[in-house]
Structure 1
Amino acid sequence: MFVLTLRIALCLIVPFGAIFLLGAMPGVNLAWDFSNASGFIAGVLFLLLFAYTGRPLAQPRHDGKFFMVLHRDLGLVALAMLVVHVAVMLVDEPLVADQLSLGAPWPMVAGNAATLILLLLVPLSLASVRRRLWSTHRHFRRWHYAASVVILLLTAVHMIGIGYYTGAISKTVFWVALTVLALSARMFQPARPNLGAGGRRRKTARLASYLSIGVLCSGLLLAGIYSLLGSVDLPL
């Protein structure tokens, strides 16, 4: 469990530091910077969900439900961070509402489309709903994966197209590389996961929820720290 927590922490901190802290752009104000950092963390979580797909892994030695709940709850955390991103930005600058239309610049249209697809994806993925819509779990997984790929690509278009934080060529290449890596993760996953020998701990799903709550709190903390640093005259 410690190793999994450390991996997720590094997956959040390393991209965040590379994009936001290396060659940092000037801060705008507390709310604006907090909003954009929250949106970025949502994007990182989209990438992470391609690694933690709900399939059991060899480590930690938890039952299958742990991994399913982890995928579900990390998806909910990504949605929560995205809601924070949009809501705080609209409150701070109501004119942003003009960008929520098809007539907006294409990077904004991409972000809007990704948000709408995610808002549909989350409720349709709930067990009680998907069982009514798809005859088999395999059909659902194909649809779910396809929708997730579209969200990931639209997110990349949004972030790179806006360009304020990813304007440097190195940062653009870095985010493209992360996106390609996430999309190719499926190629390196065996048809049947290698679960290793030995038994597994049962009734561990709550641990996945606790871990996801920790990710949410950490994401908000990272966004808060960044917005505070951006409001003071400190070299980053």
Structure 2
Amino acid sequence: MFLILPLCAAYSVFLLCLWPYSTMHLSIAWEASMLCGFSALFFLLTLFALTGRPLPEPFFDGRFFLTLHRWLAWLFVGLVALHAGGIIWVDPQTLYDLWPSGAPGMQFGAAAAALAVVTPCLALQRVRRGLYATAAMFRRSHALLAMAVLGASVFHVVATRVHVALWWQVWMCAGIAVVACVLPVGERRLLARLPARHDGRRRRLHTAYLARRLAGAMLGVAACETVAFVLWRH
């Protein structure tokens, strides 16, 4: 599918920009955990672009985009868990940074991780129907929580200054976060102006399985690129 190539290219550029070669070399386990964190941030950004709203291309039904958004969200949560668990396993003293007297960057990272778990859970069908009276209320709440996760994540990446320490990296992270927050609104307005049909074509139905395959392919590519990147660094 044509979505795989742009996503993989964007992931490669994302790693190369936020992980310059001049940074310090640490253990393989540490760097793998850090790369899981950067991968989680990348998948979080893709969730703002692939919001579950049907796009003009691929011309599939809405279930495809909704399923893809859901699976990418769980991939994001899994990578956050690997990032946090790996860092704590390699350096247990990191837990001291979560105390009130700890570093603000680490505290924002912990808050982002907690919200990253809560947000997809609130989007589950049974929970959503029980908590929200209307779909509009859910969309607003979900968008606000997602922006809170993104803001806390970017502050965590910038404030810890483990790899993102150069001024252009900081501004790039801030710029990407702002664009990601505005993107769903612009996407919705743009799609509202587009015609509902394309030359009489109808959207392809029963494509949810393709979304699962695409998410699995993205996970495999991200894992391969992460391993290759760690080996290249060492």
In the superposition, the TM-score normalised over structure 1's length comes to 0.91
Superposed CA deviations along residues 68-113 of structure 1, whole A, max 9, x for unmatched, are 0111110111111111111111222222222233332000011000
Alignment partner for residue 145 of structure 1, among 132, 143, 146? 143
- Pairs within 5 Å for 1:3-152: 4-20=3-19, 22-152=20-150
Superposed CA deviations along residues 118-177 of structure 1, whole A, max 9, x for unmatched, are 111111111121111111111101000000001111111000101121111111111111
Q: Offset at 1:196?
A: 3.7
User: Distance in 1 between the 2:159 and 2:119 partners?
Assistant: 24
Q: 1:28, 1:230 within 8 Å by CA — same for their partners in 2?
A: no
Q: 2:67, 2:212 within 8 Å by CA — same for their partners in 1?
A: yes
Superposed CA deviations along residues 190-210 of structure 1, whole A, max 9, x for unmatched, are 345434421111111011111
Residue 230 of structure 1 aligns with which residue?
Answer: 233
Residue 165 of structure 1 aligns with which residue?
Answer: 163
Q: Offset at 1:178?
A: 1.0
User: Distance in 2 between the 1:35 and 1:100 partners?
Assistant: 18
Q: 1:114, 1:154 within 8 Å by CA — same for their partners in 2?
A: yes
Return 179-188 or 67-76, whichever deviates more: 179-188
Q: 1:70, 1:212 within 8 Å by CA — same for their partners in 2?
A: yes
Q: 1:77, 1:215 within 8 Å by CA — same for their partners in 2?
A: no
User: Distance in 1 between the 2:134 and 2:144 partners?
Assistant: 16
Please, which runs of 5 or more residues in structure 1 have no aligned partner?
232-236
User: Distance in 2 between the 1:206 and 1:9 partners?
Assistant: 20
Q: Offset at 1:226?
A: 2.3
| Distance 1:103-1:218 versus aligned 2 partners, 3 A rule | farther
User: Distance in 2 between the 1:42 and 1:88 partners?
Assistant: 13
Amino acid at match of 1:109: Q
Superposed CA deviations along residues 31-67 of structure 1, whole A, max 9, x for unmatched, are 0000001101101111111111000000001110000
User: Distance in 2 between the 1:86 and 1:230 partners?
Assistant: 21
Please, which runs of 5 or more residues in structure 2 have no aligned partner?
none
| Distance 1:173-1:23 versus aligned 2 partners, 3 A rule | farther
User: Distance in 1 between the 2:222 and 2:180 partners?
Assistant: 20
Residue 213 of structure 1 aligns with which residue?
Answer: 216
Amino acid at match of 1:6: L
User: Distance in 2 between the 1:229 and 1:100 partners?
Assistant: 32
Between the aligned residues of both structures, percent identity stands at: 26
User: Distance in 2 between the 1:196 and 1:73 partners?
Assistant: 27
Superposed CA deviations along residues 207-227 of structure 1, whole A, max 9, x for unmatched, are 111111122222222222222
Q: 1:35, 1:84 within 8 Å by CA — same for their partners in 2?
A: yes
Amino acid at match of 1:161: A
Q: 2:4, 2:218 within 8 Å by CA — same for their partners in 1?
A: no
Residue 234 of structure 1 aligns with which residue?
Answer: none
Residue 188 of structure 2 aligns with which residue?
Answer: 190
